[in-house]
Amino acid sequence: MRSLSGNRLGAEGAAALAPALAANGALTKLSLAWNKLEEEGTKAICEALKQNKTLKELDLSGHNNIGGEAGAKHVADMLHVNGGLKELNIAGNSIKDEGITAICNAVQGNKEGKLAKLNVAGNNMSPVGATAVAAMVAVTGALTVTNLLQNNLDVESAKMLAEVAKQKGISLCGIQRDQTTADFSNQDLKPPDAILLASDLSQAGVTGGLTSIDLSKNRLCGIWESRDGQQGTYTAEGITAIADALRVNGALTRVDVRSNNIAGDGAEQLAAAVLGNLKIEMFNKIPIKEMRADSFTELDLKGKGVGVEGVMVVAGLIPAMSALTKVR
């Protein structure tokens, strides 16, 4: 892969690179991430890629790297005619609903397109953009991996995307099918993100090889701690969706959900998932993969924010754990 990421190429540098990119017949991977290409630079690169038939992977990610919605429209124009690109990363560009919609329409419109992986995380997409993504996912045959995390979805739009993704067997969180571990810790993920993650975890064809996932230090229940105390509004919908997914996931042996302010119904559902699938190392202190309830020797709940109701659930679990000697 040829990486020119983080070089502040700007529009001028992109314009200088474009003719070479149009003529190059050997390059298959290119990263122009974090270069402040702006709209004009993005336009130059995309015009070149309308002619380049060999590039398979392109990374344009980075804070406002492509020039927002205007740059996204140039990317869409390129995707409409480029049939060779298989992977595109435009995460973190704040292309919003207008840009997302243009890209989704282009992917749908290119009947010869081979795009299999599309990363649009962190683009300020709302439920309006989610509708465009759902329509694209429903009809696109090549697409197997998307990343829609860290957008401005609500719970209902996340559920809609999850339903479509399950029908098509597509990842919504960028998880590759050969991945064995995934780290989503400290990414400011919220309840809608939890629903997208649950969609992936419930599909054996998507995350069947995944044995460990770290979801710690997020906002999966909608609240977080700040210097001014607890912020946000508690909801268990996202964490309950993850618990439901854990009940059917037969491969995971470690799930870290620490520091998510899980309480009430969420804690109860997670506890039920642990008892329903006792391979899961839910509490991060149990190294044995194959486990029964009477095999637990230590239960570590320190800092997990289970709350009063959660402690009641834990109390209900303890009688089934006859080997338990230590609870934190």
227-257: per-residue pLDDT in tens? 888 899 999 999 999 989 988 887 887 788 8
Q: Residue 296: pLDDT band by 50, 70, 90 thresholds?
A: low
Q: Tell me phi and psi for residue 146, to 5 degrees.
A: -125, 160
Domains delineated in the chain: 1-152 (3.80.10.10), 177-328 (3.80.10.10)
pTM: 0.86
% of the chain exceeding 90 in pLDDT: 66
Rounded mean pLDDT, 156-181 = 96
pLDDT for residue 288: 32
The mean per-residue pLDDT over the stretch 126-154 comes to 96
For residue 82, is pLDDT > 80? yes
